[in-house]
Amino acid sequence: MGNRFLPVCRKDMEDRGWEQVDFVYVIGDAYVDHPSFGHAIISRLLESKGYRVGIISQPDWRDPESIAIYGEPRLAFLVSAGNMDSMVNHYSVSKKRRKTDAYTPGGVMGKRPDHACTVYGNLIRQTYKKTPVILGGIEASLRRLAHYDYWSDQLKRSVLLDSGADMISYGMGERSIIEIADALDAGIPVEELTYIDGTAVKVKSLESVYDAEILPSFEDLKKDKREYAKSFYTQYLNTDPFTGKRLVEPYSDHLYVVQNPPAKPLTETEMDDVYGLPYMRTYHPSYEEAGGVPAISEIRFSLTSSRGCFGGCSFCALTFHQGRIVQVRSHDSLLREAKEITKEKDFKGYIHDVGGPTANFRHPSCKKQTSHGVCRNRHCLFPTPCRNLDADHSDYVKLLKKLREIPGVKKVFIRSGIRFDYLLADKKKDFLRELCEYHVSGQLKVAPEHVAAPVLVLMGKPEHRVYEEFTRQFDRMNQRIGKKQYLVPYLMSSHPGSGMKEAVELAEYCRDLGYMPEQVQDFYPTPSTLSTCMYYTGLDPRNRKPVYVPKNPHEKAMQRALIQYRNPKLYDLVYEALQKAGRMDLVGYGPKCLIRPRADKKGQNQNRPGTDKKGHDQNRRSTDRRTKKKTIRNIHRKK
């Protein structure tokens, strides 16, 4: 019969001759059967084990009938908000509603609810009181224990409790979902599944919970932010599958949320099997009339070569979700997928990306990780690379060369992001040449994020001198191979630790670089990151020392404006920021100044720096006057 999409309605189920599905998968995204979408991986994996799965995409959360189209599943409902946290999907950092949703047909906004896991879980419970409900995906994963919710500005309970669900399969759930499915299929009640790695469960007593570390109670967390900082850091230290402990968060004397240790990483063969499942590699054809699903354009001609990240950036949730151990696919698996991509009718010869969370991580950072796990209290790259770091790009270089040689492939880009300090730690420098010669299209985006030392320390990023060394080596390599290519730095404003002094330092860097970014990323406190914990508590959870946190919207606007100081519309904000920072030396006509003085004390032309009362450019007028005087002197000399 060949490949086909999984059922999306009762008729599809009946056409397959099924009277009932084993699992109903409720998702907040459109149904896209591509391995870049978590729901595709989990549903295809269950199918490969012989389970029947029906998809319900973006149900009407106001209508209980919308999740009853298949009737009651034999084993459980699976629920995911989608590839993004629904609140991040819906709102910008300024809490303004976004206009489009890339994971919805036609990019239409409003097809999923806020806090989708909670809403979907309660929707199911209205009709199916006893049917097991299993949460998964990044929203549930990052909200599995008590967490700060930026949009309501309060500490929230585990999503497990508010959703009415029975379990959470957190992280990359391939191992845990099959163990859950097999246990339910064997007739084990869901309330007895308290032991599976990679899950969080709720229990009424701790009699069956062993070898656990008790976290502060939810009531204590609400009373004392210091307690929350302490609790979160304990969670952060227990994200490794080899060393992570079982954690218990009490909510009352008769209610506890138990986080079991993370699931073990997949082997290379297991990764190959997961990505070799019979995906249709596109969105469901029912979306064609609406214009398709925009998100597919970013990943359709890209390859996921790895998962996991040992970079350890404080503002990134990857440590909490995927873990620090890098898992990879084999060359053969990636080459097979690449050849399939070349057969697609819209393929123009360009593979858009080969990477993962960090493109140039292709193996564990040191040999001990695959058997003993990562270090609890040490980072691989921060503040400096560990002496045991195995920085080696040779496998990645071989892979890229093989991909370039595939007939029909014109160019292979790398867009996942390069960890430049790891690149510098590789003494061979083969990858830098490979990168510059074949995998950059004029510009390479990198993420130094900031330049001020106090901010970089809190971000978990290397010192600024490391980035400067990378820029020197990048420029030198491009000169050697005869190419003109440029770095485009990603910069972040208003991160914890960034006061006006640090923001001005970043603006001065942009000035010296001759670079003004069109867009600036304002720090976004998403659930379960070290930086979000700093934002909420005002403390660095690693040592519980006070941290300055810019929260006032006007101050955040000033910090953002400083990075874009050349924009005339932002003149007033930049001027005010420099006043507050005590840096009026940067207002003037010198080469180091960021902006010109105000036109006069009455404030005319304040929004147009460097203009006079009539709106004429002062710099141009003064240049014209100098040119005129010089011309007159030359005329007199000739006479």
Domain end point (choices 401, 423, 441): 441
Report the chain's mean pLDDT, rounded to a whole number: 92
Residue 37 is assigned to a structural domain of this protein: yes
The pLDDT score that the predictor gives to residue 614 is 40
Q: Return the minimum-mean-pLDDT range out of 482-486, 516-520, 621-625.
A: 621-625
**Average pLDDT for residues 285-300, to the nearest whole number?**
95
**Average pLDDT for residues 322-345, to the nearest whole number?**
95
Q: Let me know whether 57 and 168 are in one domain.
A: yes
pLDDT in tens, 620-631: 444 444 444 444
Q: Return the minimum-mean-pLDDT range out of 100-104, 321-325, 337-341.
A: 321-325
Q: Which helix (H) or strand (E) holds 249?
A: strand 246-252
Measured CA to CA in angstroms, residue 444 lies from 352, 419, 434, 485, 591 at distances of 13, 12, 13, 8, 28
415 or 80: which leads in pLDDT: 80
Q: Let me know whether 63 and 195 are in one domain.
A: yes
Residue 73 is assigned to a structural domain of this protein: yes
The pLDDT score that the predictor gives to residue 283 is 97
Residue 254 is assigned to a structural domain of this protein: no
pLDDT in tens, 115-144: 999 999 999 999 999 999 999 999 999 999
**Full residue range of the structural domain in which residue 93 is found:** 10-199
Residue 381: pLDDT over 70: yes
Q: Cβ contacts of residue 94 below 8 Å, gap of 6+? A: 522, 553
Number of domains into which the chain is organized: 2
The pLDDT confidence band at residue 319, using thresholds 50, 70 and 90, is: confident
Residue 98: pLDDT over 70: yes
Interior angle at CA 157, CA 156 and CA 160, nearest 5: 130
Q: Let me know whether 189 and 328 are in one domain.
A: no
Tell me the DSSP string of 376-445: SS--SSSSS--TT-----HHHHHHHHHHHTSTT--EE---S---HHHHHH-TT-HHHHHHHHHS-SSEEE
The pLDDT score that the predictor gives to residue 609 is 42
Domain end point (choices 199, 218, 245): 199
139, 81 contact by CB (below 8 A)? yes
Q: Let me know whether 186 and 324 are in one domain.
A: no
Residue 430 is assigned to a structural domain of this protein: yes
pLDDT in tens, 252-270: 999 999 999 999 999 999 9
CATH number at residue 418: 3.30.750.210
Q: Percent of the chain, pLDDT > 70?
A: 93
Write a three-state SS string for 272-339: HHHHCCCCCCEECHHHHHHCCCCCHHHHCCEEECEECCCCCCCCCCHHHHCCCCCEECCHHHHHHHHH
Q: Let me know whether 191 and 319 are in one domain.
A: no
Residue 459: pLDDT over 70: yes
Token pair 């564990």: residue:
364
The pLDDT score that the predictor gives to residue 80 is 98
Domain end point (choices 199, 214, 239): 199
Token pair 């404006």: residue:
561
Residue 438: pLDDT over 70: yes
The pLDDT confidence band at residue 516, using thresholds 50, 70 and 90, is: confident
**Sign of torsion over alpha carbons 222, 227, 230, 234:** negative
Q: Let me know whether 188 and 308 are in one domain.
A: no
The pLDDT score that the predictor gives to residue 142 is 97
Residue 427 is assigned to a structural domain of this protein: yes
SS3 76: strand
Residue 525 is assigned to a structural domain of this protein: no
450, 491 contact by CB (below 8 A)? yes
CATH number at residue 158: 3.40.50.2300
Q: Where are the alpha helices (DSSP H) in 430-589?
A: 430-438, 453-459, 464-481, 500-513, 530-537, 553-563, 571-581
* pTM attached to this predicted model: 0.90
**Average pLDDT for residues 412-440, to the nearest whole number?**
93
pLDDT in tens, 348-379: 999 999 999 999 999 889 988 877 889 888 89
Regarding beta strands 154-156 and 76-80, do their DSSP bridges make them parallel or antiparallel, or are they unpaired?
A: unpaired
Measured CA to CA in angstroms, residue 18 lies from 7, 21, 182, 469, 632 at distances of 10, 7, 20, 62, 95
* Other beta carbons less than 10 A from residue 114's beta carbon: 15
Residue 217 is assigned to a structural domain of this protein: no
pLDDT in tens, 189-247: 999 999 999 999 999 999 989 899 999 999 999 999 999 999 999 999 999 999 999 99
Residue 592 is assigned to a structural domain of this protein: no
Distance CA 476, CA 34 (A): 40
Tell me the DSSP string of 454-467: HHHHHHT---HHHH
